[in-house]
Structure 1
Amino acid sequence: MQFCDRCGSMMHTEGDTWVCRSCGNEEARDSQAEAAMSVQDGQQDDGAPDVADATQDSAETMQEPCPAEDCDSDQAYYEMMPKPGGSYEVRLFTCVECGHKWRES
């Protein structure tokens, strides 16, 4: 893959020349440099993202009533997690007794 020295866009080959479709810059192709370029087929699958679990590595609990209908517990593990986009954090709870999970609203 070759990038344009003028505008940074990806260049395409046309015969013996690399051509930038954005700004029109042209550069001669170098067979030795192209032979050194690596090619990678496909994409890597890193699997599903980790799901937050407030019980992992946490011994801290706080008084927070469980919202599950059949649970009378008032203790929950908690964990602070950043919201997507990093604007603020949200507190995630897991009931100590029944394992029900919820977030602070």
Structure 2
Amino acid sequence: MEFCDDCGSMMKAEDGLWVCSSCGNEQIKDPDADYVITDDQEASEVIESSPEDSGLPTTETHCPECGNDRAHWYMQQIRAADESETRFFICTECEHKWREDDH
């Protein structure tokens, strides 16, 4: 793996050169160095997911936007460590996002 001397981005190997995909800088590859060049990922290897496959758990709760009764949920610490986490919900129907805090 090589990095561009000008901008620091990762470079790609092309015809005996290292080419920066960000700024276009080219460097000659060292012929004595050992390099492993990997192929691009095949389109068949790409896994597409839908909102239903978010990997988040679901619960019964009322969406304030559309009235749906199912939502994905997760918890996140957004305040001080000595305060409770905040619960976030994402509606399974309209994808409206809201949160609940303990007060």
Q: TM-score, normalised by structure 2?
A: 0.42
Which one has a bigger Cα radius of gyration? 1
